[in-house]
Structure 1
């Protein structure tokens, strides 16, 4: 019997992605704290020693996925901001994109926000979070003159969207208001209302 061998380096090249996909599947089933690195290896069909070529431990694997989560958020948020030239509507679109990311990429959302990863050990995550802030602050500054007010507005809109995302994820919203479209509309309305409270006075 002839055994076909993989081309040199193919398995090694696929290993990282295989482990990440296995970890995502486990997070969907059990949450970001509910599995071990060895279980991810078994799910990926590789030996328990295999991941150390790429990941020092389970947190390193999760950090790699969290970084992808931040990158996907940034892609979505930038697209949302480009959908309008009105800063209030840009913020409403951001809030909508936030809850949609949570619904459509639930495992990445959980890893990014609920895994409790140490940003001192994984500074790339802190840098990715700062990049989101740097994209959004210029928009809130168009609504609120004071930098502190602009930051407060950003935090309030993100917190409202985050809360709605968690309510939807955990089935805490009554049926008529728990559909993806309804939650997105709620997030947009909350963003507009919060922006209205911070809006700079218009000249008479």
Structure 2
């Protein structure tokens, strides 16, 4: 059976999805600054005007990539959830966050740079499953106290983001073992925060 190319997918009416996929590839290879609609068009074998049927400009396509990144984060976190307790769910968010950072480093870094569409409805929708689990678990563990829940949530977020950063800096080693080490450390630190949550301010 002949291999399906990106251009074939375009001719089957899926140019928008193909553009998002190609943008993600380019960002992985060159970073956000190295991405252009012209390069995406070249890779897809379409006219440089073709992307404008689906996206007004480069920023709009990058926003769509940010939404896709949010969906990937939600999927990664969901795969980590293996228990019904609030502690297990909060730990799952930390584990999934670090694993997402490891698997999709360029997207992860871009999300906290030019791709981070704070308040954008589509991005909020994509990440709502993660935020919902995180908020519900933190609130329950804090006994319904919104201030205590915020303190716990911020502390867990700082731990997860910190271990993701250490992993990217190579301070936890290299390869799959380093990823699992980072995930395990983030889990242990999150459980420690939950156990000592009364000391958080």
TM (norm. structure 1) is: 0.79
Contact map agreement 1:143 1:199 (CA 8 A) in 2: no
Give the unaligned 5+ runs of structure 1. 1-8
Q: Deviations over 1:99-131 (max 9, x none)?
A: 1111112343234332244446x4322444455
Structure having the higher Rg: 1
Contact map agreement 2:71 2:126 (CA 8 A) in 1: yes
Q: Deviations over 1:117-146 (max 9, x none)?
A: 4446x4322444455322221111221121
Count of residues in Structure 1 that have an aligned counterpart in Structure 2: 189
Higher relative contact order (CA 8 A, sep 6+): 1
Contact map agreement 1:78 1:135 (CA 8 A) in 2: no
* CA distance 1:74–1:80, shift in 2 (3 Å): same
Q: List aligned pairs for 1:107-118, cutoff 5 A.
A: 107-118=106-117
RMSD: 2.6
Q: Which residue of 2 aligns with 1:175?
A: 173
Q: Deviations over 1:144-164 (max 9, x none)?
A: 121121122122212211122
Q: Which residue of 2 aligns with 1:154?
A: 153
Q: Secondary structure at the match of 1:72?
A: helix
* CA distance 1:118–1:32, shift in 2 (3 Å): same
Contact map agreement 2:65 2:115 (CA 8 A) in 1: no
Cα distance in 1, alignment partners of residues 142 and 76 from structure 2: 24
Q: List aligned pairs for 1:129-144, cutoff 5 A.
A: 129-144=127-142
Q: List aligned pairs for 1:1-204, cutoff 5 A.
A: 11=11, 13-81=13-81, 83-119=82-118, 122-145=120-143, 146-171=145-170, 173-175=171-173, 179-198=178-197
Q: Deviations over 1:49-68 (max 9, x none)?
A: 11011111112112112112
TM (norm. structure 2) is: 0.80
Deviates more, 1:54-63 or 1:69-78: 69-78
Q: Offset of 1:186 from its aligned partner?
A: 1.0
Q: Which residue of 2 aligns with 1:6?
A: none
Cα distance in 2, alignment partners of residues 22 and 176 from structure 1: 27
* CA distance 1:170–1:197, shift in 2 (3 Å): same
Q: Offset of 1:75 from its aligned partner?
A: 2.7
Cα distance in 1, alignment partners of residues 194 and 83 from structure 2: 15
Cα distance in 1, alignment partners of residues 76 and 113 from structure 2: 20
Give the unaligned 5+ runs of structure 2. 1-8
